[in-house]
Amino acid sequence: MDAPAGTPSGPTDVVVIDPRAVLEGRAGEARSVKLRVPAALLPALSKGINKLGDMDDPMDEYYFGKAAEIFEYRLVGVSSTQSGFTSIVTAEALERARASGGGGGASGGGGGGGGGEGAPPLPDWESFRQDLLSGAARFPSRRHPFLFAGHMLESAEAAVYELKEGDETVGLLVSSEAA
């Protein structure tokens, strides 16, 4: 099956960042983690597998691509999750969102959602948050720039880990706990 139009064939830079900062035009102020992933891993970044901790140790983890034990991953960095959510976005889509000034729907902003001219304006944060909480948000989508967005329980930060086989990244882990 051919890759959809616009799908990169080589490594792509992605950013783990608080989605609220992106939609409110504050992406430049938010602490984020940028890393390069191979084209083969890119589709998996929209299919995060969530694992919750137990009652004694509440945490959130999202696995993308190949999964492994936490000690097999390498910590890449830590991003802020002040909104209670984390997201993954391509660096290119993030730049488009920054150039558009963030979301706001009818109140301003726009562009950057699906990429390029004619793209719908970015949603405002509250609408996007409600879509996330209700399960209505789909990834990827022309309505927003994110490959993925998900809840981070009781954590102001998300630790970003990568799993490598040789020199190639084969999996990512975004966790509310840094090991």
Range scoring the smallest mean pLDDT among 54-63, 68-77, 102-111, 150-159: 102-111
- Residue 153: is its pLDDT beyond 60? yes
Give residue 102's region: left, alpha or beta (phi > 0; psi -120 to 50): left
The half-sphere exposure of 160 on its side-chain side, counting CA atoms within 13 A, is 23
Would you list the domain boundaries of the chain?
19-175
Under 8 Å between Cβ of 6 and 119: no
At 19 the pLDDT is 96
At 7 the pLDDT is 56
Instruction: Give me the mean pLDDT over the 25-50 stretch.
Output: 92
Task: Convert the pLDDT of each residue in 58-70 to its tens digit.
Answer: 567 899 999 999 8
Instruction: Give me the mean pLDDT over the 85-105 stretch.
Output: 84
User: What is this structure's pTM?
Assistant: 0.84
DSSP secondary structure string for all residues of 7-65: --SS-EEEEEE-HHHHHTT-TTTS--EEEEE-TTTGGGGG-PEEEE--TTS--EEEEEE
79: phi then psi, degrees, rounded to nearest 5: -115, 155
Give residue 161's region: left, alpha or beta (phi > 0; psi -120 to 50): beta
